[in-house]
Structure 1
Amino acid sequence: MYIKKFGLWMVFFFLYSMLSPIFTSAHAYITKATPAENEILPKAPSIVSIEFDERIQSSSFASLIVMDASGKRVDLKNAHINKENPRMMEAGVKSNIPDGAYSIHWKVISADGHPIQGVIPFHIGTAGENSNASQAHTTGYIPKLDMLIERGLLYTGFSLYIGVIFFNLIIRKSDNRQSTKVQSRSRIILWLSLLGVSLSLLFNLPLQTKINADVSWSKAFQLSLLRETLELPGFGHIWVIQMILVALLSVATYVAIKRGSFTSWKAWVIPVMLVVGLLITKAFIGHAAASKYKEIAIPMDFLHLFAASLWLGGLLGIAFLLPVDHAGAEHDKRDWSLYWDAIRRFSPWAMAAVSIIFFTGLVTSTFFVPTITSLFETNYGKILFAKIILFVVMGILGIVHFVKGKLRRKKGIGATVGVEWSIGIIVMVLAAFLTNLPTPPIPATGPFHETRQLDNGNQLTLSISPNAVGMNTFDVELKDKNGQPVTDIEQLTLTVSSLDMEMGKETFRVPAVSTGRFQTKGMYLNMTGQWTIKVHGLATSLDSFDIDFRSMVGSRQ
């Protein structure tokens, strides 16, 4: 009964989280392009610019190129980030270029350190009116086999190292039947885990270079490209810190092993602190670091990874370290009580780790997944959904092991512990993939339409269509208590401001199109998220009114 109630509560909490407007994108998304997609210009622009919803990194990997229909460059090759607006990239265009179809080919490194690129078509002169419109598109990096290998080495290494330390300090500490074979196996696994982490981090530098520069592996080791990657403020600085921490961890591990005791906190406190430091650095490279809620997202990301490593590490110790105590015994004659004692001691820690994983996963999902449909319609959502399913399978296996530990069965633990650990590694690799996939944008929310009553009893209706990033139509209608158009409005202005990012306020006048109705068009909503729209009216009697509306602005489909 209690399990059913708990399950229903968790489902409700998950649905509430998915529907709550706390979303923030991690990869950069275009909020405004000049020229806009398929815009027809009467003459050639002197400058083209693209503005994003977050700060973009200054790097030689970034580019902004303008091409004509034949593929010839017509920009001045001076692409740069605007000094006054770090979210905008711009470039000059050659003068006197002929009428015709053109396209802006852009590539930037977003705040989370991941590259994203795309194309925006536009036209110059009347010739473009008879041309077939092209569709703008944006693409990001899709993880491949090389990243699977790199992340698999890294997270398996973390799991192995934490698992051995946790097993010896916590699970076996109360067991006086120490085994030199267990200690020998622990030493081997510790060094193998450090080797895996080191190889992964070394491999990560040319891998990130390959991704950023969009080159083959044969060119990813060029010193100039590697140097440019290291100069990136996000990835480069963190990578150097990681290599220093791995070197210190190797020395600290050697010293701790020389001291000869795997059950002494005093011997292993420094290695534990260093491996925790490595896990923290991982949280500073990825979506969490780029989130506008990074003060919450980064700790959640670290706790998620640490709890997963602890859970998998504990399973590792039980499945692969304990069996060496019975290597000389026949399988059916082994004393399996050691296993079940270990499982019993591990169970509270496992349940705590599962709770942390579940909670941090829910919190993170509210930042990066705007709706439930995003779980099934985007690559990010599909991998997240697969991760959730595998996590549920791991939880079921954990319950099975907990029940078996309570029953103290004499038979062996079987292969299920190894299966649980293997699934856990897959889950962690999927989590690593998520850090390199574009997060789903807020979908189109549909037109905004709301009516409010003023202090004098008049009714004011504000409509915004399509209520999406880019060009919108703003329509204001005023009626009196009898439903008749208000005739004494001298001037009407709107002031828009984002609630998700400090971008200042923009005020614009809305001219009258008929009695009691005002309308204008403009690109005043330039990023997804929550916006405040203040309507200010001035009557011919010099009386004025102010009223605020709040709208959730989505992206264009």
Structure 2
Amino acid sequence: MRLGKRHWTVMVSLLLLCCLVMPQWASAHAYIVKASPGENEQVATAPERLTLEFNESLQTAFYDIKITAPDGTQADDGNVQIDAERPHILETGLRTGLGNGTYAVSWKAVSADGHPIQGAYVFHIGEPSGSPAGLADLTSGTGQAGGPIKWILSLTDWIQYLGLSVILGTLAFLLFRIAPASMAREPMEVPGSYKLLWISYAAASVAAIISLPLNTLYESGVSLNEFSWGLMGSALKLTSFGLIWMAQMLILMLLAVTILSGYDRDRSLKIRIWSSYGSLVLVLGWLLTHAMTGHPAAAEQRGLAITMDYVHLIAAAFWIGALTAMAVCLPPLADKLPPKVRGEVYWGAIRRFAAWGIGAVAALVATGIYSSLVILPEPVLTSLFTTTYGYVLLAKIVLLLVMIAFAWRHARTARQGKDNRLAGSLKAELAIGAVVLALAAVLTHLSPGQPEAAGPFKEVQTTEDGSAITLQVSPNVTGENQFEVGVKRPDGSIVNDLEQITLTLTHLDMDMGIYEVTIPKNDTGVYQAEEYISMPGRWSIKVHLLTRSLDSLDAEFEIDTANP
């Protein structure tokens, strides 16, 4: 089929509308914007409370703060809570009589998008005392938790996507007359459709049912032997996923009734048709529950982000599901006909599908651009090529383009109508579609804001008098790092008479306060210190050097620290 002016107008309008309503980027996972006491902050006396302020609201389940004293004992009072009036505040009290030294803070929570997050940092009461006991066992930085369980959840999501896509596509194939009307007395008599619907329903239902205990393990962060019915009850009552899961169970039961009614020959054709439309509406509702979880739920313009994700899911589900229905249901119909006319049955259905497919492709492109710009951190192109989320998204885009190429080939063949059988490439297009859905399920549980490890940092800057200051940070990940400073005079000789070496670190992405690293002086010309970096992201490091002759040398560096 050729794209007419009307079709191009619709596609361009959708893309323009997408660009006009594009919001600013909003992080897909919660992170700390302010802590009191802050990262590496040195306070004169022990604070009464520790407060963590996040960029978005937290869910009221599976949160905790643990504070470890220098001797390894518990320093918090165990009264951890989320502020009822300010749900983006997580806080706890501290015990009385705390002594001087370095304290480690370990926290965990569940962000608005349903993903568990956790992190750790240190602060000091009086003079620092070095790393607290047990600090190496804490999770450094701010990152997504979950471990292997998130990949199992991605599998259950994929099975649900596949099952719902096939149900949606099969119903569309039958009700929208993509199936050849001359081959069956009524839409619901197309061979294979009944079995296809029930197999898909069973797969999606089982995956949805087991997703509750899996998601409880994922969000709570407990091990399998610590799992309990009480934890699952908390997930049902206190998390957004629990509420959505109950809605899914209601839809699941109603969908079984409408599918049965649609194929009940004791009912009139009109009731059967309307029951099948009811099944279609319920599947759309089930897909909506998936759009209401994950990254869109944490977007700044939540309603718009969910709508865009919902349209994206519907378009993909229709495309892949209708292809499945054609591959399964068309051959039994066409096999009853002489070979000479089978081609018209096949390609006539593909021509009718292409009329709907144009809209699906336009919706996929527009909503895909929107979602990428909402979720990926700025700069978007850099994030696309430097994060795991970006790599998976690129793979999805490439496969989608391959599907579009196959679709164009099939539409061209349909115009000619030469072959008397379905092309093998239709099955290839269908297989690629299944992989696209798998990648979509993986993206749901990936953090888009965590760049891959950049490796050790090394940079040389020249001061006004021609001196060269070198800064090295290794391994340049959250946790313990080695800071090394080297200085050479304009003539290339090493400066080894420094009296004071101070590094001032400031986080450029959020308010983490300012803290200093002091490097001991020596006569070797190599100045090193071990220091803890607990937050990934961009840091400014100001190097201040003072020589014995009281000359000062200054330089400023910017590093990008990653999670280990």
TM-score (norm 2): 0.71
Label 1:350 to 1:362 Cα distance change in 2 as closer, same or farther (>3 A). same
Q: What's 1:228 paired with?
A: 234
Q: Which moved more, 1:95-104 or 1:394-403?
A: 95-104
SS in structure 2 of the partner of residue 373 of structure 1: helix
Q: What's 2:486 paired with?
A: none
- The separation in 2 between residues aligned to 1:131 and 1:267, in whole angstroms, is 65
- The separation in 2 between residues aligned to 1:41 and 1:411, in whole angstroms, is 81
Matches within 5 A, 1:75-154: 75-128=76-129, 136-140=140-144, 141=146, 144-154=150-160
Which of residues 450, 470, 489 in structure 1 aligns to 2:511?
470
Count of residues paired in the alignment? 445
Label 1:55 to 1:148 Cα distance change in 2 as closer, same or farther (>3 A). closer
Deviations 1:341-377 (A, max 9, x none): 1111111111110110110111111211132110122
Letter paired with 2:124 = H
Flag structure 2 segments of 5+ consecutive residues without an equivalent.
453-505, 515-536, 538-559
Deviations 1:506-557 (A, max 9, x none): xxxxxxxxxxxxxxxxxxxxxx9xxxxxxxxxxxxxxxxxxxxxxxxxx987
1:275 maps onto 2:283 in alignment = yes
- The separation in 1 between residues aligned to 2:393 and 2:177, in whole angstroms, is 32
SS in structure 2 of the partner of residue 196 of structure 1: helix
Q: Do 1:468 and 1:556's aligned partners in 2 also have CA atoms closer than 8 Å? A: no
- The separation in 1 between residues aligned to 2:421 and 2:156, in whole angstroms, is 34
SS in structure 2 of the partner of residue 372 of structure 1: helix
- The separation in 2 between residues aligned to 1:413 and 1:466, in whole angstroms, is 59
SS in structure 1 of the partner of residue 447 of structure 2: coil
1:346 maps onto 2:347 in alignment = no
Q: How much does 1:299 deviate?
A: 0.9
State percent identity of aligned pairs: 32
Deviations 1:444-489 (A, max 9, x none): xxxxxxxxxxxxxxxxxxxxx975421679xxxxxxxxxxxxxxxx
1:169 maps onto 2:164 in alignment = no
Letter paired with 1:349 = W
SS in structure 2 of the partner of residue 347 of structure 1: helix
Deviations 1:62-99 (A, max 9, x none): 10110134543211011111234221111111122232
- The separation in 2 between residues aligned to 1:392 and 1:471, in whole angstroms, is 43
Matches within 5 A, 1:223-372: 223-258=229-264, 259=267, 265-326=273-334, 335-369=342-376, 370=378, 371-372=380-381
- The separation in 2 between residues aligned to 1:174 and 1:102, in whole angstroms, is 72
- The separation in 2 between residues aligned to 1:51 and 1:241, in whole angstroms, is 31
Q: What's 1:178 paired with?
A: 184
SS in structure 1 of the partner of residue 35 of structure 2: strand
Deviations 1:362-400 (A, max 9, x none): 111121113211012222222212211111111111111
- The separation in 1 between residues aligned to 2:72 and 2:409, in whole angstroms, is 62
Q: Do 2:387 and 2:451's aligned partners in 1 also have CA atoms closer than 8 Å? A: no
1:198 maps onto 2:205 in alignment = yes
Q: How much does 1:174 deviate?
A: 4.9
Q: How much does 1:179 deviate?
A: 8.0
- The separation in 2 between residues aligned to 1:428 and 1:159, in whole angstroms, is 9
Which 4+ runs in 1 deviate beyond 6 A? Answer: 129-135, 179-182
Label 1:105 to 1:249 Cα distance change in 2 as closer, same or farther (>3 A). same
SS in structure 2 of the partner of residue 121 of structure 1: strand
Q: What's 2:426 paired with?
A: 417
TM-score (norm 1): 0.72
Q: Do 2:119 and 2:141's aligned partners in 1 also have CA atoms closer than 8 Å? A: yes
Q: What's 2:163 paired with?
A: 157
Q: Do 1:25 and 1:441's aligned partners in 2 also have CA atoms closer than 8 Å? A: no
Q: How much does 1:43 deviate?
A: 2.9
- The separation in 1 between residues aligned to 2:154 and 2:306, in whole angstroms, is 23
- The separation in 1 between residues aligned to 2:331 and 2:110, in whole angstroms, is 49
SS in structure 1 of the partner of residue 176 of structure 2: helix
Deviations 1:410-436 (A, max 9, x none): 253332212212221221222222222
Q: Which moved more, 1:379-388 or 1:121-130?
A: 121-130
Q: Do 1:312 and 1:421's aligned partners in 2 also have CA atoms closer than 8 Å? A: yes
SS in structure 2 of the partner of residue 433 of structure 1: helix
Q: Do 1:304 and 1:360's aligned partners in 2 also have CA atoms closer than 8 Å? A: yes
Q: Do 2:292 and 2:306's aligned partners in 1 also have CA atoms closer than 8 Å? A: yes
Q: What's 1:403 paired with?
A: 412
Letter paired with 1:214 = G
- The separation in 2 between residues aligned to 1:183 and 1:329, in whole angstroms, is 15
Q: How much does 1:407 deviate?
A: 1.6
Letter paired with 1:469 = M
Q: Do 2:30 and 2:112's aligned partners in 1 also have CA atoms closer than 8 Å? A: yes
Q: Which moved more, 1:33-42 or 1:141-150?
A: 141-150
SS in structure 1 of the partner of residue 181 of structure 2: coil
Label 1:466 to 1:50 Cα distance change in 2 as closer, same or farther (>3 A). closer
Q: Which moved more, 1:349-358 or 1:144-153?
A: 144-153
Label 1:338 to 1:184 Cα distance change in 2 as closer, same or farther (>3 A). closer
Label 1:468 to 1:117 Cα distance change in 2 as closer, same or farther (>3 A). closer
Label 1:145 to 1:367 Cα distance change in 2 as closer, same or farther (>3 A). closer
Q: What's 2:553 paired with?
A: none
Q: How much does 1:215 deviate?
A: 2.8
Larger relative contact order (Cα-Cα within 8 Å, sequence gap ≥ 6): 2
Label 1:47 to 1:360 Cα distance change in 2 as closer, same or farther (>3 A). same
Q: Do 1:160 and 1:313's aligned partners in 2 also have CA atoms closer than 8 Å? A: yes
Label 1:172 to 1:376 Cα distance change in 2 as closer, same or farther (>3 A). closer
Q: What's 2:490 paired with?
A: none
SS in structure 1 of the partner of residue 108 of structure 2: strand
Q: What's 2:439 paired with?
A: 430
- The separation in 2 between residues aligned to 1:295 and 1:251, in whole angstroms, is 31
SS in structure 2 of the partner of residue 292 of structure 1: coil
Q: Do 1:168 and 1:262's aligned partners in 2 also have CA atoms closer than 8 Å? A: no
- The separation in 1 between residues aligned to 2:180 and 2:303, in whole angstroms, is 38
Q: What's 1:504 paired with?
A: none
Deviations 1:282-314 (A, max 9, x none): 211122122120121111111110111111111
Letter paired with 2:511 = G
Q: Do 2:37 and 2:123's aligned partners in 1 also have CA atoms closer than 8 Å? A: yes
Q: What's 1:497 paired with?
A: none
Label 1:382 to 1:263 Cα distance change in 2 as closer, same or farther (>3 A). farther
Letter paired with 1:244 = L
Q: Do 2:183 and 2:333's aligned partners in 1 also have CA atoms closer than 8 Å? A: no
Letter paired with 2:64 = S
Q: How much does 1:233 deviate?
A: 4.1
- The separation in 2 between residues aligned to 1:56 and 1:77, in whole angstroms, is 19
SS in structure 2 of the partner of residue 104 of structure 1: strand
SS in structure 2 of the partner of residue 50 of structure 1: strand
Q: Do 1:173 and 1:263's aligned partners in 2 also have CA atoms closer than 8 Å? A: no
SS in structure 1 of the partner of residue 123 of structure 2: strand
Q: Do 1:121 and 1:136's aligned partners in 2 also have CA atoms closer than 8 Å? A: no
Letter paired with 1:67 = T
Label 1:307 to 1:262 Cα distance change in 2 as closer, same or farther (>3 A). farther
- The separation in 2 between residues aligned to 1:319 and 1:396, in whole angstroms, is 18
Letter paired with 1:285 = T
Flag structure 1 segments of 5+ consecutive residues without an equivalent.
444-464, 474-527, 529-554
- The separation in 1 between residues aligned to 2:179 and 2:431, in whole angstroms, is 26
Q: How much does 1:269 deviate?
A: 2.0
